[in-house]
A = this chain, B = another copy of it.
Amino acid sequence: MASASGMFDAERVAVVGATDREGSIGAAILRNLLADFDGDVLPVNPNVERVFGRPCHDGIEETDADLAIVVVPAEVVLEVVEDAGKAGLENLVIITAGFGESGDDGTTREAELKALAEKYDLDIVGPNSLGIISTSSGLNATFAPRNAISGRMSFMSQSGALVTAILEWAGDRNLGFKDVVSLGNKAVLDEVDFVETWGDDPDTDVVLGYLEGIESGTEFVETARAVTRQTPVVVLKSGRTEAGARAASSHTGAIAGSEAAYKAGLEKAGVLRAQSTEELFDFGTMLAGGPPPETDGVAVVTNAGGPGVLATDSVGDSELTLTAFDDETKRRLRGVLPSTASVHNPVDVLGDASADRFGDALEVVLSDPEVGSAIVIACPSAVLSFDRLAGAIVECRAETNVPFAVCLMGGSSIDAAAETLSSAGIPTYFDPARAVRSLDALRSYRSIRDRVDHPPATFDVDREAARAILERVESKRDNRLGVEAMGLLDAYGIPTPVGEIVDSPAEATAAAERIGGDVVMKIVSPDILHKTDIGGVEVGVSLDEVADTYETLVSRAYNYQPDARLFGVQVQELVDLADGVETIVGMNRDPQFGPLLLFGLGGVFVEIFDDTTVRLAPVTEREARDMLNDVDSAPLLRGARGSPPVDEAGIVETIQRLSQLVTDFPAIVELDINPLVATPDGVVAVDIRLTVDPEIL
């Protein structure tokens, strides 16, 4: 697997296509490199002698570079790459555009580039990249007007322009980076490589990404899931909405995957999601600032009631809770605050509070065992020095692991204080809502970091029987054959109605007698897909009607399609839907992320409320149980309407068994058990819909 660490650790950087022509990209990159880089800068251009006063090399093979930045015209890029490969130079950043993003010729050129990378085992960023930055060595191999300041966030972006924008914006806000990469077309290195590289990097505290798509969902999930145990990863994924996805795919030429799959994939990977650029860096700054809170309780300390209420509203919107202080905390607050101040949460230190009073109150609430994080809100007042307040907060910070967010609700008078706090790793905001959302992201990271992974259960199944059934599917069409498809479920231990296939009226009656009660009868034929449409199914057939119904079904099938192969009639137990809750358990195979399991309550809950949840397969028992809890209609499984609770364990097991089935057989493209009827005594899969791709088997 490709790795990207060599890029950022480079000591000798060649710029192929070096020039000092004003306004050119080559000159811009060279100027950026020459400004701060601790290592050697090696211009390469056979047509000129010197660039910016430095001697030029004729070819890359003449240098001892360990990284090449390629800015030659698209037509000669492949040549340069081949030269690099032959010379044993492994790391390249291709700035040049005119590849996959620009029509057929470009697509061919990109394919050739990939082939060269494989041939010579090259790590390549781009093509069509703005470049890379590593602040630890002062490496700025981009043509952005502004360099990154040093810090502990690493950022990758599928949009080069966004890198330029963020570098300016973040610089003004004193937000620092370890590494930055503009991913470009991701022909070779992609988000998986950088997540892995930065996961191993002791100087990166948080990985941030702007992504329009993920090339290999499965690989990304596997890598990020491991990395996020130590290093938080936040992604702003664009193309979330239908309109956005269309815009993204016309922009990159790639097909954007389904939002449901990205949601499930990023969740499984333990990746936090930001909804805007602002939020991406709000979260990033908070996550780079220190460890997550140990409890969900938050304390608010403010010199203004109104903003305290706004913060409380935002806490109400989040999964944080406003701590109810214990008596000791209240007693100690009374000791440091005037009698008219509030010692309840939010703590109002009053409009005439000095920095010292703020500091005292903060110190007290931080010692409450239920307080996991704190928000300080300061509005300008005649007696409050923002600078001294920053000092007091930094002092408290030194003595605790509890994370804070600080709202300095002022204009330029807060700038120095904000810088002091930011240097101490404490993020500042104007708006309390943003402070709370950022703390909430940090809280989410706690459960990601601490999650315990159990392997998915492996049930004892009849894999060969299942394979035999799937092999009967000859063409790639929607397959509704009741009997065969139900056999898959039988092979994987998912309960189905009792039933038999018979080939005479007498046998049908005997079967119905054995089953007991009214039955369902269905014609069995591989040639009749939509059995209900031709009257091939009869529900609620009583014992004395069974023989006649057999004849009716066969004659309907014959009338409909005289040459259809008839394998008989299925006589099946009638599952009374009124006795239980109808659920749906299904699977859809996503091109990026693989099998996506779906669960929901049937009927109106799926059709009208779209009340479903998805997970990537294979799921653990815990994940399967979470799916039940996820849906809003879950209380109906637990006897919400006076009926007895259904067999939830049966549903959970069915989800896991289905997960095993679709993981074992990639040929199953789509599968819906609809309904899976759940009663207090168990579950039963009443109907199944299946799409198989026989070419994969």
Q: Which of A11-19, A356-364, A564-572, A601-609 contacts B (4 or more CB under 8 A)?
A: A601-609
* Cβ-closest chain B residue relative to A307: B162
Query: Which residues does chain B contribute within 8 Å of A303, judged by CB atoms?
Result: 161
User: If A102-B340, A145-B380 touch, does A312 touch B247 (CB 8 Å cutoff)?
Assistant: yes
Report yes or no: B212 in contact with A157, Cβ–Cβ below 8 A: no
Give the total of A residues in contact with B, Cβ under 8 Å.
91
> In the docked arrangement, what's the CA distance between A252 and B305, Å?
8
Report yes or no: B308 in contact with A278, Cβ–Cβ below 8 A: no
Report yes or no: B348 in contact with A251, Cβ–Cβ below 8 A: yes
> In the docked arrangement, what's the CA distance between A414 and B146, Å?
13
Contact with B along A136-172 (1 / 0, CB 8 A): 0000000111100000000001111110110111111
A207 within 8 A of B: no
Q: Contacting A313 at CB < 8 Å: which of B159, B164, B243?
A: B243
A640 within 8 A of B: yes
> In the docked arrangement, what's the CA distance between A276 and B238, Å?
24
Closest-CB distance, A296 to chain B (whole angstroms):
13
Report yes or no: B381 in contact with A164, Cβ–Cβ below 8 A: yes
Q: Which of A466-474, A585-593, A631-639 contacts B (4 or more CB under 8 A)?
A: A631-639
Query: Which residues does chain B contribute within 8 Å of A414, judged by CB atoms?
Result: 168
Report yes or no: B305 in contact with A164, Cβ–Cβ below 8 A: no
Q: Contacting A162 at CB < 8 Å: which of B158, B236, B322, B379?
A: B379
Q: Which of A224-232, A260-268, A404-412, A655-663 contacts B (4 or more CB under 8 A)?
A: A404-412
Contact with B along A228-259 (1 / 0, CB 8 A): 00000000101111111011101110000000
Report yes or no: B172 in contact with A278, Cβ–Cβ below 8 A: no
User: If A278-B430, A351-B161 touch, does A210 touch B306 (CB 8 Å cutoff)?
Assistant: yes
A197 within 8 A of B: no
Query: Which residues does chain B contribute within 8 Å of A310, judged by CB atoms?
Result: 236, 238, 244, 276-277
Report yes or no: B212 in contact with A306, Cβ–Cβ below 8 A: yes
Number of copies of this protein chain within its complex: 2
Q: Of residues 635 to 649 in A, which have CB atoms within 8 Å of B's CB atoms?
A: 635-636, 640-641
A618 within 8 A of B: no
Query: Which residues does chain B contribute within 8 Å of A541, judged by CB atoms?
Result: none
A202 within 8 A of B: no
Q: Contacting A165 at CB < 8 Å: which of B275, B307, B633?
A: B307
Q: Contacting A411 at CB < 8 Å: which of B171, B277, B607?
A: B171
A315 within 8 A of B: yes
Closest-CB distance, A662 to chain B (whole angstroms):
29
Query: Which residues does chain B contribute within 8 Å of A172, judged by CB atoms?
Result: 411-412
> In the docked arrangement, what's the CA distance between A169 and B378, Å?
13
Q: Contacting A430 at CB < 8 Å: which of B275, B277, B351?
A: B277
Report yes or no: A306 in contact with B164, Cβ–Cβ below 8 A: no
Report yes or no: B168 in contact with A410, Cβ–Cβ below 8 A: yes
* Cβ-closest chain B residue relative to A303: B161
Report yes or no: A161 in contact with B304, Cβ–Cβ below 8 A: yes
Query: Which residues does chain B contribute within 8 Å of A164, judged by CB atoms?
Result: 379-381, 410
> In the docked arrangement, what's the CA distance between A383 and B25, Å?
11
Query: Which residues does chain B contribute within 8 Å of A170, judged by CB atoms?
Result: 411
Query: Which residues does chain B contribute within 8 Å of A348, judged by CB atoms?
Result: 251
Contact with B along A391-427 (1 / 0, CB 8 A): 0000000000000000001111110000000000000
* Cβ-closest chain B residue relative to A252: B305
A382 within 8 A of B: yes
Q: Of residues 289 to 324 in A, which have CB atoms within 8 Å of B's CB atoms?
A: 303-310, 312-317, 321-322
> In the docked arrangement, what's the CA distance between A635 and B606, Å?
13
Closest-CB distance, A319 to chain B (whole angstroms):
13
A332 within 8 A of B: no
A74 within 8 A of B: no
A344 within 8 A of B: yes
Query: Which residues does chain B contribute within 8 Å of A277, judged by CB atoms?
Result: 307, 310, 430-433
Closest-CB distance, A144 to chain B (whole angstroms):
8
User: If A243-B316, A278-B431, A348-B251 touch, does A306 touch B608 (CB 8 Å cutoff)?
Assistant: no
Contact with B along A263-288 (1 / 0, CB 8 A): 00000000000011110000000000
Query: Which residues does chain B contribute within 8 Å of A315, judged by CB atoms?
Result: 241, 243-244
A23 within 8 A of B: yes
Q: Of residues 85 to 108 in A, which have CB atoms within 8 Å of B's CB atoms?
A: 102
A342 within 8 A of B: yes
* Cβ-closest chain B residue relative to A315: B243
A28 within 8 A of B: yes
A372 within 8 A of B: no
A346 within 8 A of B: yes
Report yes or no: A145 in contact with B382, Cβ–Cβ below 8 A: yes
Report yes or no: B342 in contact with A250, Cβ–Cβ below 8 A: yes
Considering residues A170, A431, A607, which has the most beta carbons from chain B within 10 angstroms of its beta carbon?
A: A431
Q: Contacting A641 at CB < 8 Å: which of B145, B250, B430, B603?
A: B603
Q: Of residues 165 to 202 in A, which have CB atoms within 8 Å of B's CB atoms?
A: 165, 167-172
* Cβ-closest chain B residue relative to A603: B641
User: If A159-B307, A306-B162, A430-B277 touch, does A317 touch B251 (CB 8 Å cutoff)?
Assistant: no
Query: Which residues does chain B contribute within 8 Å of A158, judged by CB atoms?
Result: 306
Closest-CB distance, A669 to chain B (whole angstroms):
28
Some 16 contacts from A to B, beta carbons below 8 A apart, are A23-B383, A146-B380, A161-B307, A161-B351, A165-B307, A165-B380, A169-B411, A240-B313, A243-B313, A247-B308, A276-B433, A277-B307, A277-B430, A277-B433, A608-B633, A609-B633
The 6 closest A-B pairs by CB, nearest first: A159-B306, A241-B316, A161-B304, A168-B411, A244-B313, A165-B409
Residues in chain A within 8 A of chain B (CB atoms)? 23, 25, 28, 102, 143-146, 157-162, 164-165, 167-172, 210, 212, 236, 238-244, 246-248, 250-252, 275-278, 303-310, 312-317, 321-322, 340, 342, 344, 346, 348, 351, 379-383, 409-414, 430-434, 603-604, 607-609, 632-633, 635-636, 640-641
Extra pairs beyond A23-B383, A145-B382 (13, CB < 8 Å): A144-B380, A165-B379, A168-B409, A170-B411, A210-B306, A241-B315, A243-B322, A247-B308, A250-B344, A276-B314, A276-B433, A276-B434, A604-B641
